[in-house]
Amino acid sequence: MPIYKAPLEDVRFVLNEVIGAAQLAQLPGYGEATPEAIDAVLEEAAKICEDLLFPLNQSGDAEGCTFEHGVVKTPPGFKDAYTTFCQGGWAGLSCDPEFGGQGLPTLLSLAIDEMVCSANLSFGMYPGLSHGAYNAIEKHATAELKKLYLPKLAAGTWTGTMCLTEPQCGTDLGLIRTKAVPQPDGTYKITGAKIFISAGEHDLAENIVHLVLARLPDAPPDIRGLSLFLTPKFIPDAQGKVGARNALSCGRLEHKMGIKASATCAMNFDGATAWLVGKPNQGLRAMFTMMNEARLAVGMQGLGVAEISYQNAARYAQERLQGRGLKGAVFPEKPADPIVVHPDVRRSLMTMRALVEGCRALAYSIGLELDIEARHVDPARREAAGQLVALMIPVVKAFVTDVGFDVANMGMQVFGGHGYIRDTGVEQYVRDARIAQIYEGTNGVQALDLVGRKMPDNYGRLMRQFFHPVADFLQAEKDNPALADMLPLFMSAFGKLQMSSLTVATRGVVNPDEAGAAATDYLRLFALVALGFMWLRMAKVAAEKLPQAGARAGFYDSKLKTARFFFSKILPQANALNLAILSGAKTVMDMPAEAF
């Protein structure tokens, strides 16, 4: 049976000692978000995840959702767990108190998202999507719609969806065919079909609020003609009581590789009553205001699966007896040594650990910048935070979800044959992790966004928000003896990132295929350097705290050892990535399309 224990010590380390989450309490509206208050919330979230959600993960995967006569039922236990989750206020953790939320920072919400996704990724889809719908309505809907819908979404009694994808279009939303026809009373009638709609139909809540991209009759072509509409499953009255069933339905459940307890639906809209959110023909803009946080949340899904995969692999490696150490018996009193003594198993475990802890620090640091962008009193600081967030979101979404799948695979490998069978539970993590690399914009699309939009933005304006702080840190710490064995390795990789950035930017202007062919390698190189920067920061803290650490000495020593592993065994991948980027697009594009 798998295990899960919320990694609170690691979470606290990043929040309190590395990125300085104490500054949240200085932001307007976050005065109560002190380190002590945040820690108390994390403790309670850990209990919910460990005791309520995690026990349903394997059974939910085995039983899945069911669909009969248009009705979707979640697996046994999910409805009760969802009710308990919402009664605890977890659905509205970072929602505005004006609408019944708790008004806590986005960063805290992301840390809890990580734990929820470790414990039960399928369950986490339901409140996660609702929060995305909440954000879009809060930022773009009329005061009347906000008053009616936001308290229900914050309470979790209603859930939300994002209805974008259609059978003929995914990333290319300009191909959307769903129509919206204005009505005399100011509403609209939505007609069309949407697919891959997570939480499109279920039995957890009394109503489901669909945010639908559709076209008005006089809309211009492609993405310029998309508008966003709020389309409830049941049409509420002015007091928020659900009324008549709207003209929409679930046509089928998708049979998926993973996240089987998350209801992924094909939705049909047959003249459904809807309300415009935002301005006509600006639906994509309204939808994308929620994308930064949504894509960061998908990164948390990758991190959550990676964390639980590491925990189970580490435990198994310490318990599984197999062979003897290469230099002889390490535990001669046992019939064989645990596999943790073998160098290759340790290589896997150290790789998993270094990636998980590095990704956590990177993702949390961007979560903090989201809060600063939203709340800081200094407009210049808000602008700088927003620029860094815009730059790093595709990096975090793509790389951390890649890590989620890779770490789950490595964990399964540590288990050997026992990992391939269902009893141990680790094969589920491989299946569940895979979707995060695909939805909310495939990771290839994230790479194109990085090199095609973020890199050239205003002659590198966004890039400077990353490169300058890194250069400042290197200058400040160049003589730090605790980092002496790490800094040269990092500086080499940082130099290669700078070189690759210039190469991709200049070649891409002449031939866009050059940037496109380099995009995925470039994003990974960028991510590895970003993780290296976070590991330098973590190592600096650990080295400073270690001499007076007392009982926590082992914790800080492990951080330093993991940092050294990252710089010596993982960061050198930057060399190969740089060479691949410099090799250009010719070998990628030479093959005629018909030859494939």
Name the 3-class secondary structure at 421.
Answer: coil
Name the 3-class secondary structure at 66.
Answer: strand
Residue 430 and residue 408 in contact, taking contact as beta carbons nearer than 8 Å: yes
The CA distances from residue 26 to 280, 384, 543, 549, in Å, are 38, 18, 28, 28
In sequence order, what are the residues at sequence separation of 6 or more whose Cβ sits closer than 8 angstroms to the Cβ of residue 325?
A: 337, 341, 342
User: Of 264, 265, 184, 180, nearest to 229 (Cα)?
Assistant: 180
Q: Is 216 left (phi over 0), alpha (psi -120 to 50) or beta?
A: beta
Q: How many Å apart are CA 371 and CA 24, to the nearest integer? A: 8
Rounded to a whole number of angstroms, the CA Rg of the chain reads 24
In sequence order, what are the residues at sequence separation of 6 or more whose Cβ sits closer than 8 angstroms to the Cβ of residue 18?
A: 361, 365, 534, 537, 538, 541
Tokens 């046992």: give the residue.
334
Taking the C-alpha atoms of 307, 311, 317 and 318 in order, what is their torsion angle to the nearest 10 degrees? 150
Pair of tokens at residue 232:
């409830």
Q: How many Å apart are CA 135 and CA 141, to the nearest integer? A: 10
Q: How many Å apart are CA 119 and CA 141, to the nearest integer? A: 34
In sequence order, what are the residues at sequence separation of 6 or more whose Cβ sits closer than 8 angstroms to the Cβ of residue 362?
A: 392, 396, 400, 527, 530, 531, 534
Q: How many Å apart are CA 130 and CA 88, to the nearest integer? A: 16
Pair of tokens at residue 70:
């248009």
Pair of tokens at residue 554:
């082992």
Q: What string of DSSP letters covers 167-209?
A: TTBSS-GGG---EEEE-TTS-EEEEEEEEEEETSS-SSSSEEE
In sequence order, what are the residues at sequence separation of 6 or more whose Cβ sits closer than 8 angstroms to the Cβ of residue 497?
A: 525, 526, 529, 574, 578
Q: Is 440 a catalytic residue?
A: yes
Q: How many Å apart are CA 274 and CA 276, to the nearest integer? A: 7
Measured at the CA of 433, the angle between CA 297 and CA 155, to 5 degrees, comes to 40
Tokens 């049409």: give the residue.
235
Name the 3-class secondary structure at 326.
Answer: coil
Q: How many Å apart are CA 157 and CA 151, to the nearest integer? A: 9
The CA distances from residue 113 to 35, 109, 313, in Å, are 18, 6, 22
Q: Which of 293, 373, 440, 514 is catalytic?
A: 440
Q: How many Å apart are CA 19 and CA 547, to the nearest integer? A: 21
- Give me the active site residues, please: 440
